[in-house]
Amino acid sequence: MVGASAIATTAAAQDELTSADTDDVIVVTGIRGSLQTANQRKRSADSFIDGIAAEDLGKFPDQNVAESLQRITGVTINRVAGEGAQITVRGFGPEFNLVRMNDRTLATVTEERSFDFQILPSELIVGADVVKSPTADMWGGSIGANVNLRTARPLDGSGFTLVGSGQARYQDLGEKWGPRLSAVIGQTFADDSFGVLLGAAYEDRVVRTEESRNGEAFGQGNGWFLFDGPVGGPGTEVRQFRVPARSGQSFSEDDRRRIAVHGTMQWRPSDKVEMVVDGLFVDFQRDGTLQGVIAPLQFPTFDPANLVVNENGTAVSFTKFFGPLDIRYEENNAASNTYAIGWHGTFEPTERVTFNADASWSRASATNQSILISPGILNNNPLNNPLPGGAADPAFQQNVITWTNGDVPSWSNSLDLSDPSLARIHVARHLADELEDELFETRLDGTFEVDHGLFKSFSIGGFYRDRSKSTLPFNNGVGPNGEDGPLGGNIPAWIMPGAPFSVYGRPNASGRVFQAPAAIFTPVSVPDLLSSENASILTDFLLIDVDAYCDYVREATLNQNVCSLQERQDFRTGVDETVFGGYARMDLAGEFGSMPFTANFGIRYERTETTSEGPFSALLNLAPESPDGSTSGLLVTTSPSEIVTADNEYSNFLPSFNFSLELSRGTYFRFAAAKVISRPTLGKIIPGQTFPSRSIESFQRIANNPDLDPYEAFQLDGALEHYAENGNAFSISLFYKEIETFISEQTVLVDSGYDHPTFGDIIIRDQAPRNRQGGTIQGFEIAALVNFDFLPGFARNLGVQANYTFVSSEDAAANDEIAELPLATLPDNGLEGFTPHSYNIVGFYEDERFRARVAWNWRDTFLEFRSGAEGIASHIDAYGQLDAGLGFKINDHFELTAEASNLLNENTIRFADIRERVLLNEYTGRRLFLGVRGSY
């Protein structure tokens, strides 16, 4: 594990780690060796860079590349199921950072540009550079940082190389074991002028998560609804209050299998010619299940006598009348393949001229499927068991939910949720999509040494990239009587003939209609669910036989489309993006008095052209679901969906300047200035609009914007760094960014022009990404690496690495176009994704036989979305994680290893505008890795 770095002087010179003072290749071994390598790269860098380096070939500091990157100053990570998936740099999230492999763009299996580190095994990576101030020859597209993942080259070594490792992975949630295997083999030939290197990694793991989710379910962000009613019993005043749209608990288990292979051939017939060909293949499979219980709370039927509302207008305790209770069961499967191949050539026709050429192709494809089965539980809901006159049986269960016990609500429920006789058919949904991403990228660079006074070299180059990403969805609608479901939304408002019991249905109700055979369900109990929380948890569920469930609904509804998949060409989306341009760069070197300096300046031109397509439906009519206005539901009429296309283009000139001055031996002052951009996420520029909510309390239009301009910023960096001869290092950096153009998801209130007989004007919450003027970001970073070699005995083998990042942002226009909603707190003027405080502390010990490290990483609370569900902001709570690792060398060839992640069993909290309105509380448990590593 490392927290410092550097980079070669051109984007093409990525292959070797060279000393600033000699031409000797640095040999990377052990913790101290990796720290030394990273510090040397940072010291000799021509811009502001941090990074990490492998402790040895096939031996990365952490189990995941993103987990290692978070040890770098200014870098934090986003987690999926508890493991690092994407990175944030100086507060800028994944969409602002350009992640490349061997300085090439990889196709991704997500719908956006951001790189998912879960697909890439750390055993195939020898290092990563995080470039915070660009040079003119670097690819543009990052306001945050350019991250380059480096793989090994066969000619970095000599002769035969073989490295292998095997580990057993254990997660305490679910008590599951899984294998993790890797091997790297290489050979050089013809006096080390030609070499081949092949690496492979395999992993099969079961990831379990436990969660309490409030306001969100089934992929819908309904947030916290606003209601008004009497509080505290009859005769009291009517008050407005907010309550989550849904609330429930669940657990999931994902079986994730990954096979990755990377191969490289390198040929260096002379000092003037070199060619490298490398390829990558990754196969990633995910089969997951989720089960639990959820209560839809969007119907305003609260018992006023038991409704407790605090000073913020949040319902902290309530009883729901006629409130349905649903079993939640999901199967989520994904299969993806990633292919990449690249060629790089270097030619030096003279001692003063060097040409570099690079061409690469990459393709990623994925098939994702999701099956949702959600039976209703027979209770006091008059829709599925009414009494004469519509009265409710007082003996029926009332759902009592209390929010006074921390981050998980307590439930009081006397129903037997594992009794199959209480289950009623409700939602059955089957969704899928096929995603493809293909890109071709090439560039040509020329460097000419001029050596004229201060001017040392001049570089020019051109580049081209073409990328095509598309998504084809499949679905079958929602619910047996939903609008797009097998009954076509045509259940009449009278007793349905042929149902096993009487039901009072209504159009589009997705109501709980049929009683399912008991054989479809298997009772399960999870007594330890969310056991770390001090709350009363529902732990009994019904495990569902999906095939039997779907077969029964097909038979009961006389519709064979239930749970089937239909290709929806009318909802396909796609983006074709072409980027091309050129650059010019000048490198300088000289002395101020006796202090040597280096500098570079240049300008880059980039032209971006996009063509996007997506489904579009126009709003034709709004009408109350009930003609007498007795309900808040709406009938929304839209035009048939049709595919529309949209074109956009923009050009950017991006100047840059970097300067480094050696004040004294080992002490450097750095300064940099640059214009940078980040292109809009691909999903935001697809044309289209939807109307997902059919309730007057939350009627919403969600749209994209194909005409978005890129994020644009001007940035300044300054730093003071010191490198001691014993490997100690200290640095302090200041940075400032002025965001000239920003993109925000904004929700504004728009009068639809339609009326409701009871609720009056129907207001549209219009949510769309829009360009606007941005704010400013400023902050500082402090980093230190101290080896305790001044201590006696074994203590001299100790060391500590620590860093701290502070980021502040000001965005005066952030809330200008955000609707001020009742009982909703607007966030401050900080930018989305910005974490004010983050820090890392790593302690390590290493001698000839034994090594150990303990690492603590912490990230402060940050704003996730300024305008989230219901137009209300959402945040991620502060999170810290403790990791540890041990290694013992049996001999020169074999080592025993043990590693642990999340030792303190930390959980992730997502909340709305204020901390008490929790949206998600997720636990992923501790993870342990036991293994052996061998090398020859």
**pLDDT (mean) for 765-774:** 85
Q: Which of 381-395, 438-452, 833-847, 861-875 has the lowest mean pLDDT?
A: 381-395
* pLDDT band at residue 553 using 50, 70 and 90 as cut-offs: confident
Of 3-17, 186-200, 208-222, 309-323, give the range with the top mean pLDDT: 186-200
pLDDT at site 391 = 43
User: Which pairing describes strands 760-772 and 700-703: parallel, antiparallel, or unpaired?
Assistant: parallel
β-strands 862-865, 850-859: how paired? unpaired
| Rg, C-alpha atoms of the chain | 30
Contact predicate 586/603, CB 8 Å? no
Q: What is the band of 91 on the pLDDT scale with cuts at 50, 70, 90?
A: confident
| Euclidean distance between CA atoms 736 and 716, whole angstroms | 5
What is the enclosing helix (H) or strand (E) of 590? strand 573-592
Residue among 336, 345, 202 at smallest CA distance from 278: 345
**pLDDT for 63:** 72
Res. 216: pLDDT tops 70 = no
Q: Are 926 and 900 in contact (CB under 8 A)?
A: yes
| Most confident listed range (62-71, 74-83, 136-145) | 136-145
Are the CB atoms for 912 and 244 separated by under 8 Å?
A: no
Report how far residue 412's alpha carbon sits from residue 397's, in angstroms, rounded to the nearest whole number. Answer: 10
The residue type of 914 is I
Would you list the DSSP string of 437-488? EEEEEEEEEEEEEEEETTEEEEEEEEEEEEEEEEEEEEE--SSTTSTTSTTT
The CA-based dihedral angle spanning residues 228, 234, 235, 237, taken in that order and rounded to the nearest 10 degrees: -20
| 871 pLDDT higher than 60 | yes
What is the Cα–Cα distance from 737 to 91, expressed in whole angstroms? 11
pLDDT at position 592 over 70: yes
Rounded Cα–Cα distance for residues 180 and 204 (Å): 7
Nearest Cα to Cα of residue 466 among 631, 540, 385, 577: 577
User: What's the pLDDT at 170?
Assistant: 94
Question: Given this model, what pLDDT does residue 478 score?
Answer: 41
| Element housing 33 (H / E) | helix 30-43
Residue pair 9/41 in contact by the 8 Å Cβ criterion: no
- Check pLDDT > 60 for residue 411: yes
- Give the type of residue at 784: A
Adjacent-strand bridge partners of 266: 195, 276
The pLDDT score that the predictor gives to residue 13 is 36
Partner residues linked to 809 by β-bridges: 777
Two structure tokens written together for 21: 């003072």
Q: What's the CA angle centered on 596, arms 593 and 600, to 5 degrees?
A: 120
pLDDT at 9: 29
Which pLDDT tens digit goes with each residue over 691-718?
A: 876 777 778 888 899 999 999 999 999 9
Query: How many other CB atoms are found less than 10 A from the CB of residue 357?
Result: 17
Domain spanning 200-476+516-935: CATH 3.90.650.10: no
The Cα–Cα gap between 355 and 347 comes to 5
pLDDT at 384: 44
Encoded amino acid at 522, one letter: T
pTM of the predicted structure, to 2 decimals: 0.86
Most confident option among 102-116, 231-245, 620-634: 102-116
pLDDT band, very low/low/confident/very high, at 236 (cuts 50, 70, 90) = low
**Residue 215: what pLDDT?**
75
Among the listed residues 327, 293, 309, 217, the one whose alpha carbon sits nearest the alpha carbon of residue 537:
293
Q: Which amino acid is at 737?
A: K
Per-residue pLDDT, 505: 26
**Cα 617 to Cα 623: distance, rounded to the nearest angstrom:** 17
Q: Cα angle vertex 244, ends 243, 248, to 5°? A: 135
Q: Please give the average per-residue pLDDT across 199-221, as a whole number.
A: 80
Give the mean pLDDT of 425-431: 76
Report, as an integer, the average pLDDT of 408-419.
77
End-to-end CA distance of the chain: 22
**pLDDT tens for residues 889-923?**
999 999 999 999 999 999 999 998 899 889 999 99
Place of tokens 């590349």: 65
Asked if residues 657 and 673 have their Cβ atoms less than 8 Å apart, the reply is yes
The answer to whether 868 and 901 have CB atoms below 8 angstroms apart is no
Q: In this predicted structure, which of 296-305, 307-316, 340-349, 855-864 has the lowest mean pLDDT?
A: 296-305
The rounded Cα 264 to chain-centroid distance in angstroms is 30
Which residue has 């940035």 as its token pair?
715
